[in-house]
Chains A and B, each alone.
Chain A
Amino acid sequence: MRPMTITEKILAKHANKKEVIPGELINAKVDIALGNDITAPIAIREFKRIGAKKVFNRNKVVLVPDHFTPNKDIKSAEQCKVLKEFAIEQKLTHYYEGGEVGVEHALLPEKGVVGPGDVVIGADSHTCTYGALGAFSTGVGSTDLAAVMITGELWFKVPESMKFVFKGRLNKWVSGKDLILRIIGDIGVDGALYRAMEFTGSAIDKLSMDSRLSMCNMAIEAGAKSGIIAPDAVTKAYVERRTERPYKFYASDSSAAYCSLKEYDCSKLEPQVAFPHLPENTKNVSDAGNVKLDQVVIGSCTNGRIEDLKVAAGILRGKKVHKYVRLIIIPATPLIYAEAMKKGWFEIFLKAGAVISPPTCGPCLGGHMGILAAGEKALATTNRNFIGRMGDPKSEVYLSNPAVAAASAIKGRIAHPDEV
């Protein structure tokens, strides 16, 4: 049999084939299909329009109204209502709102809804996050979601795979976010278009699950179909206490074919900052210059997890946020929120002068809870800095890891964590 990558193996298995070849069109069984308050209303409307009555499996269709939660206005409330009514009608197991809702891509891994070896599709581009668990997962549109809700299957073109090898030790303050920002800076926002990005190497082996999730989360920012890290002991420790569903570890064959190979020596990397208005405009934080800030956001499906808040708390302990900066901290899920509170980090944040938001996407997509005025600049641990992403089209968003974000909130300008 021809050697295959982890992505090819998972897809072959779900298409009920012995092997698949990049470029081949397949129909694959989907383990989990996800929709949110922006994309699911269209999917549900299409589902009904076409005359479908029942979802293919009520345990496998997941609805998370996280983008505008708590409902920002009447229109968004109406959208969430569509999800709720559908969840009740179809008796969906995985529907989360109110005090149960968190940012979808933090929530699903945390609850063990997605696991290694799965094929996951979500009507949300950052569905690629679950590649960190060793799943094939990718973002699609609402019509695709409707199709999967009906049939439990979807067509895919088997992607070519790109290999990224990270060697050496990570420097202090460098996290998965910096590795992925560095890659995007090197290959551009369409550098991995249609392809699967596979991250490996001794530095990845040592990377925490939170850092892996934040890396795979941003594969889409290079245009990729998916990002993936082969599951290992770190994965096992993470999923074991979370999921009751059977899962399967796949690994790439050593002679599998890749369309490109890139190697990084981590000892040469420092924290990265992506300048407006594309994630590919990355610089070393020490080359950022004097960028004065009006707002700092620590949260989102990229960096709103426990490890992220821990780093922020460590830096903010006993410090004050700059007088003219709004620091908004958004724990990504209720569990993370509770954990951060229990650890005493809320007190650190509040004393520093931060605002703590309930779990929501909120300002990440310019929804609510921290919108920018014309001319304002924000540094965020989120994943996109497109024009107008966080508010007025004349505002600016810079992207970084939580350590840089916390330090910058104190300094009032983009700063290296060593400066505070």
Chain B
Amino acid sequence: MKFKGNVWKYGADIDTDRIIPARYLNTSDPAELAKHCMEDADKTFAEKVRLGDIILADKNFGCGSSREHAPIAIKASGISCVIAKSFARIFYRNAFNMGLPILESSEAVDASEQGDALEVDMDSGEIINVTRNVKFTARPVPLFMQELVNAGGLLESIKKKGALR
């Protein structure tokens, strides 16, 4: 999987309430959620984000609630992948379980600014900042997680194993 897009850059501890405020959690419709994605962190995001764009964030991205609405909203808004210095644990699980590509790279986050053009290769973990002509390698994704993604997510892997009743 390869992605190309422009950077939306955010700070540390972006919590799930800022990714998708609870006042919109009375629905789980992806298109509806996408309209309010990042609303409390950045009012312009939902309107200006373009297909393929990439979110870059400091440490502990996605902390707070377990709401899968957060990765759903990000994915539905057109974001191709999220790169952060670190992810909150439940967000990390959710992203893999539902197929939102995420990578950890402190270097790429520190060296890139809002609007930079990035190219990301999920398989090799290579991140190229085209604007600044620099290259980074993300922390490798654990093998088990790669297998989950390759199976098409957690539920697909369960289905393949024939565990449905």
A contacts, CB < 8 Å to B: 25, 38-39, 41-42, 45-46, 49-54, 56, 67-68, 72-73, 75-76, 79, 122-125, 127, 139-144, 146-147, 150-151, 155, 189-190, 193-194, 223, 225, 278, 365-367, 384, 386-389, 393
A50 touches B158 (CB 8 A): yes
CB <8 Å contact, A139 and B18: no
A225→B153 CA distance, assembly (Å) = 21
B60 touches A193 (CB 8 A): yes
Are A140's CB and B28's CB within 8 A? no
Q: In the complex, are the beta carbons of A223 and B88 less than 8 A apart?
A: yes
- Asked whether A50 and B40 contact (CB < 8 A) given A366-B23, A384-B17, the answer is no
B68, A72: Cβ atoms closer than 8 Å: no
Q: Is the pair B18, A387 in contact by a Cβ cutoff of 8 Å?
A: yes
Q: Could you say which residues of chain B place their CB within 8 Å of the CB of A73?
A: 26
CB distance B13 to A278 under 8 Å? yes
Task: Decide if B163 is an interface residue (CB 8 Å cutoff).
Answer: yes
Chain B 141-164 per-residue mask, 1 if CB under 8 angstroms from chain A, else 0: 010100000000111101100011
Contact A51 B164 (CB under 8 A): yes
Cβ of B101 under 8 Å from chain A:
no
B residues near A, CB below 8 A?
13, 15, 17-18, 21-23, 25-28, 39-41, 59-60, 63-69, 71-72, 86, 88-90, 93-94, 97-98, 142, 144, 153-156, 158-159, 163-165
What B residues does A38 contact at CB under 8 A? Answer: 22, 25, 67, 69
Complex Cα gap A366–B25 (Å): 10
The listed residue with most B CB atoms (<10 A of its CB), out of A42, A49, A72, is: A42
Taking A125-B64, A193-B60, A387-B41 as known contacts, 19 extra A-B pairs with beta carbons closer than 8 A to each other, sorted by chain A number, are: A38-B22, A39-B67, A50-B155, A50-B158, A79-B28, A139-B90, A141-B71, A141-B94, A143-B97, A143-B98, A143-B154, A143-B155, A147-B97, A151-B163, A190-B63, A190-B88, A193-B89, A388-B17, A389-B22
A125 CB contact (under 8 Å) in B65, B71, B159, B164: B65
| Bound-complex Cα distance A189 to B62 (A) | 11
B114: min CB distance to chain A, Å: 19
Residues in B whose Cβ lies below 8 Å from that of A386? 15, 17-18, 64
Beta-carbon nearest neighbor of A225 in chain B: B89
A190 touches B17 (CB 8 A): no
B156 closest partner in A (C-beta): A50
B97 touches A25 (CB 8 A): no
Of the A-B pairs whose beta carbons lie under 8 Å apart in the complex, a sample of 26, sorted by A's number, is A42-B28, A45-B28, A49-B155, A76-B26, A123-B68, A124-B66, A125-B65, A127-B66, A141-B98, A143-B97, A144-B154, A150-B155, A150-B163, A151-B163, A189-B60, A189-B63, A190-B63, A365-B65, A384-B15, A386-B17, A386-B18, A387-B15, A387-B17, A387-B41, A388-B18, A393-B39
Residue of B at shortest CB range from A365? B22
Q: Of residues A49, A73, A223, which shows the largest number of chain B Cβ atoms within 10 Å of its Cβ?
A: A223
**Nearest chain B CB to A104 CB, angstrom units:** 12
Q: By the criterion CB–CB under 8 Å, are B60 and A140 in contact?
A: no
Q: Once the chains bind, are A388 and B40 in contact (CB under 8 Å)?
A: yes
Query: Which residue of the partner chain B has the closest CB to A36?
Result: B66
A189 to B12, CA, bound (A): 10
User: What A residues does B153 contact at CB under 8 A?
Assistant: 143
B158–A39 contact, CB under 8 A? Answer: no
- Whether the Cβ atoms of A141 and B66 lie closer than 8 Å is yes
If A25-B144, A190-B63 touch, whether A223 touches B158 (CB-CB below 8 Å) is no
B142 CB → nearest A CB, Å? 8
CB closest residue in chain B, given A41: B28
Cross-interface CB contact of A68 among B26, B97, B154, cutoff 8 Å: B26
In the complex, A278→B72 CA distance in Å? 24
Beyond A45-B28, A50-B156, A193-B60, whether A367 also contacts B22 by CB under 8 A is yes
